Amino acid sequence: MRFTKPSWVMHKDSAKDTKRLSIFSVHVHPDGSRIATGGLDAKVRIWSTKPILNSASERSNRPPKSLCTLSMHTGPVLTVRWAHSGRWLASGSDDEIVMIWDLDPSGRGKVFGSNEINIENWKPLKRLPGHESDVTDIAWAPEDRYLASVGLDSNVIVWCGYTLERIRKLDQHNGFVKGVCFDPVGEFMATQSDDKSVKIWRTTDWGLEAEIRKPFEDSPGSTFFRRLSWSPDGAHITASNATNNRGFVFIAAVITRGLWTSEISLVGHENTVEVASYNPHIFLRNPSAPIATSNICSVVALGADDRSVSIWQTKSARPLIVAREVFERQIMDLSWSRDGLTLYAASSDGTVAVFDFDAEELEGIAPYGAQAQYLQKFGFVPPPVPEGFSHGTSCEGEHAPSASRITPPPSPTPRASTQASQSGFGTSAVNGGEQINRLVAKKSKKKHVQPVLMSSIPSASTTLSKVAPSVSGRGPVNGNALGISTSERRPLAARAAPVSRSVSPAPSMRGFDADIEMGGSMDMEVPIDSLDQGSSPEMPKGKRKASVMELDDRPVRPRTLGGDRNRESVAVREIARVGETWDALPALRSAEVLPSPPVLTFEDVLEGRNSEGDGPTEVLFVSSKQTQWLDYLPSPVVALTASPSFCAVATQDGSVNIYSHTGRRIMSTLSLGSPCAMIHSCKSALLLLSTLGRLSCINVKSQSAYFPPVSVDSLISTPNCTILSATIRPNGAPVIQCSSGITYSYDPQLSSWIKLSERWWAEGSDVWQGRQRSNREVVASIEGAISTTAGTSEHRERPEWWNTALTLGHLESKMHASKALDSPTEYKQALLLYAKKIADEGFRAKAEELIRDLFGPVFWRPGRDDWCPTIVGMLKRDLLREVLSVFARSKTLTKLALDWQDTLKKATNDEST
């Protein structure tokens, strides 16, 4: 065995770079190339393992020791867990948030609050709110089907491992929940709580299978965690923080599957056991003997508050290894590498220790194929991966990634070919393979239409089948031996789980429209068995016999305008301007500031078909190649858009027609005075930008304008400045992105254009996160779009306060932008980062001003004061509580925060009375 303790693996104090902060969690990547740690500094850090295990690599710093620092959490990070595929990283913090991180291969940047540079960039993929207190542990189910999180709110939350949507909230614990794990085949989930119980949950219906209390009745409630682990053969759970002899002997309890009893104890630690972690391999006691139950065993590691780590082998009464006084404080977490030969241990003293074994030291390791053969022999057959998903790809075998380089499999994406054929979706290619994005007004069962890009529609039909093991095993009950008896082991009975279908949201390909292209569920076609079988030779397959209720004079299909026409495939290309064209006065013709879109033959579900001859222009709404409605227009179509509420078509003569989804004109035809250069819709809001640079934002539902038409001339007054995109938010706020690297919106109350974000902040802000891919939040998407158009700036010497000033200015600007675009999530996130930055720098005056702004008048009454108690739909005083929590954890503003917390509490009590 080789033991090492790399001094450079550390979480630093922002005020004192040399002071170590506690490390609460460590987890090794499935390919073994890196580890992730979470600590008291509210950061997740990713480190290379090669410099840890190879002294030559450590000296040469190749690969670099520190790969990435993730700083989106606002509280200490208590748990980090890689997905089994290695594609995603999950982290949980005492800011009550579970964060999912995804690798951005092209992104790099500075670490927030320091001068460190990220070698690689792990961007936040999704934020999972739901807990009401600290998140203490996280576990991924086999094949990443589920993600479970537990916390100090006494709740267990289960998330879908593919869509990351919340599935179930389990609230049957009566105390802090501090540990969670899944069994090897994903049939059961185990949780351990301060209510002195371990609960076993069925993953088929999330019902309670069993509750184990006996070994925990006298366990102390002072441990930071109660991390438990399931053996790789599925036969046992080793749970931490158990006791014998009325609490005088500290043990780890071994729970037998099926019987759900604990008659086996691991005795030897002098203080409470904090964490248990099984080696992922099944081991052979005699490598030369055949694989049989009598020849297999498991290895489990324990970490305790007595600062020691012990490693045990099943069917052995004594531990293999005991490492004493390795740390100065208690062990917080343990993690085995997938090859089963390296154990990582993290301590609250801020260090990580590594135990590197030879295969002979842990007896013979059964190869993975042999393990699968053993599990199947006794009925442990894991359910198949849902068709089309690659998120659960194994890292083993000949396709395993290199140890020096991470190669994550693609994100969960279903096979597009079958979905395209069933739904009529596809892509066109012109000019040597250039893709044409098609705007789809998709019709759902609720008569809802959602525009999406047909060239990037992921969808999935996931069938999750489970097995229900029924195993009984007995171990020796005399003393502290850990054993497995196979005389009563029975095969597992398989149960079929109900079919579950889920959809993965499609990332946007159009910049930063966070409401339409960046999320939202899509209805899927679900086959019905009764329609797939013919009932008689005379009846075609898929038809049903007519019942008495159906024998009336109603037509088979409702009659629609143009419904008897089948859709024809037409090549999309630019055509000559025919028919009526827009002919402006000479004075106006010279005032054009934006180019007019070319006249095309659009092929789309909402389709504008322009004739090359003297024929009329057609507008069609097509579903499944069948025309639902059509209309004829006197001028060629140049642009069109669709939202869940309406469809809009702009023509070359400057007119705009707005339709419902049945083809009814719901507004008078608008006349812009010039052709429409850009058009966009979002829910009930419609944006129109004419070639003369006049911007109109209309509320179609109320048939009114959000503000009078305004000119965009001032935005593109600089040379070679153009408008790259123009979109609209649900609240009617326009978002105009310019090639100058600045994004604008219009504020009707100020009657002025305002800057939402600009390239300037990338010059020194610590919270600028460029190249955000698939981000659902609008302000982050704006910054990502700006980064894609930004050039590289040369390095220059900056003043001393440069980064601090730009970081504070950027966060203040981000809060104003979130308010203008009605994005409460981003406003709160920016506010808490702003508060943390103020606290780190010790700016007391700024902190007091922020507190007073959120607190408002002490005796505030509605209608009597100008102060508004809410911002972006959130109560200011609720936000103040979280800001004061951030200040209270700082070293400079603690007294200020405590005083205001008392004041806020008194004001709340006075209002309630």
Position 852 in a domain: yes
- CA–CA separation, 476 and 762 (whole Å): 64
Over residues 654-685, the pLDDT tens digits come to 999 999 988 899 999 999 989 999 999 999 99
- Give me the pLDDT at residue 738, please: 92
Q: d(Cα 819, Cα 827) in Å, to the nearest integer? A: 7
Which value, in Å, is the radius of gyration of the alpha carbons in the chain? Answer: 31
What pLDDT score does 911 carry? 66
Rounded to 5°, angle at Cα 407 from 404 and 412: 155
Residue 799 pLDDT class (50, 70, 90 cuts): confident
**Alpha carbons 735 and 786: distance in angstroms, whole number:** 13
Residue 614 has a pLDDT of 76
pLDDT (tens digit per residue) in 814-831: 999 999 999 999 999 999
More confident site: 435 or 251: 251
As a whole number of angstroms, the distance between CA 609 and CA 72 comes to 48
Q: In this predicted structure, what is the pLDDT of residue 798? A: 80
More confident position, 46 or 562: 46
- List the end-to-end C-alpha distance of the chain, in Å, as a whole number: 67
Name residue 788's amino acid: T
Residue 49 forms part of a structural domain: no
Nearest of 681, 608, 686, 688 to residue 655 by alpha carbon: 688
Residue 895, number of CB atoms within 10 A of its CB: 11
Question: Does position 480 have pLDDT exceeding 50, yes or no?
Answer: no
Q: Which of 175-189, 505-519, 637-651, 785-799 has the lowest mean pLDDT?
A: 505-519
Determine, yes or no, domain membership for 635: no
pLDDT bin (cut points 50, 70, 90) of residue 610 is confident
Residue with tokens 């009617």: 732
The pLDDT tens digits of the residues spanning 240-288 come to: 999 988 778 899 999 999 899 988 889 989 899 999 999 998 887 777 7
- The predicted structure's pLDDT at residue 791: 56
Output helix, strand, coil percentages for the chain, rounded to the nearest 5. 15, 30, 50
661 and 494 Cβ atoms separated by less than 8 Å: no
Segment 356-379 shows an average pLDDT of: 62
Question: Which pLDDT score, from 0 to 100, does residue 63 have?
Answer: 87
Q: 176 in a domain, yes or no?
A: no
Confidence of residue 131 (pLDDT cuts 50, 70, 90): very high
Strands 23-28 and 449-453: unpaired
The answer on pLDDT for 776 being more than 80 is no
Compute the distance between CA of residue 620 and CA of residue 628 in angstroms, rounded to an integer. Answer: 7
Local confidence band at 762 (pLDDT 50, 70, 90 cut-offs)? confident
Q: Which of 86-95, 433-442, 613-622, 762-771 is predicted with the least confidence, judged by mean pLDDT?
A: 433-442
pTM of the model: 0.47
CA atoms of 625 and 567, how far apart (whole Å): 5
Does residue 704 contact residue 698 with C-beta atoms inside 8 Å? Answer: yes
* pLDDT class of 202 with cuts at 50, 70, 90: very high
Q: Identify whether 385 is part of a domain.
A: no
pLDDT at 506: 29
Question: Does a structural domain hold residue 856?
Answer: yes
CA-to-CA separations, 500 to 160, 464, 496, in angstroms, rounded: 11, 6, 12
What Å distances lie between residue 872 and 708, 822, 882, CA to CA?
Answer: 24, 6, 16
Q: Are strands 874-875 and 117-118 parallel, antiparallel or unpaired?
A: unpaired
Residue 851 lies in domain: 823-912
For residue 393, what pLDDT is reported? 39
Which H or E run includes 421? Answer: helix 416-423
- pLDDT confidence of residue 789: 66
Instruction: Tell me the pLDDT band of 496, cut-offs 50, 70 and 90.
Output: very low
Structurally, how many domains does the chain consist of? 1
Query: In terms of pLDDT, which residue wins out, 517 or 867?
Result: 867
C-alpha triplet 487, 489, 495: angle, nearest 5° = 165
Rounded mean pLDDT, 402-410: 36
In this structure, of 54-63, 327-336, 563-572, the range with the lowest mean pLDDT score is 563-572
Residue among 148, 147, 155, 151 at smallest CA distance from 136:
151
Structure tokens at 590: 């010279």
Most confident of 338-347, 556-565, 713-722: 338-347
What's the whole-number mean pLDDT along residues 638-648? 90
pLDDT over threshold 70, residue 99: yes
Per-residue confidence (pLDDT) for residue 263, from 0 to 100: 85
Question: Rounded to 5 degrees, what are φ and ψ at 795?
Answer: -75, 130
Alpha helices by DSSP H, listed for 725-843, are 778-789, 802-820, 824-841
CA distance 223 to 157: 22
- Identify whether 900 is part of a domain: yes
Q: Any idea which of 333-342, 598-607, 856-865, 875-884 has the lowest mean pLDDT?
A: 598-607
To which H or E segment does residue 440 belong?
A: strand 439-443
Residue 854 resides in a domain: yes
Least trusted range by pLDDT, from 485-499, 652-666, 861-875: 485-499
pLDDT at 554 over 70: no
Supply 82's token pair. 């890689």
Cis, bond preceding 63 (omega within 30 deg of 0): yes
**Mean confidence (pLDDT) of the chain:** 75
pLDDT at 746 over 70: yes
What is the reported pLDDT for 145? 92
Of 138-147, 489-498, 604-613, 794-803, minimum mean pLDDT range: 489-498
Model confidence at 419, in pLDDT bands (50, 70, 90)? Answer: very low
Q: Are 25 and 35 in contact (CB under 8 A)?
A: no
Nearest Cα to Cα of residue 649 among 681, 694, 697: 681
Number of Cβ within 10 Å of residue 572's Cβ equals: 13
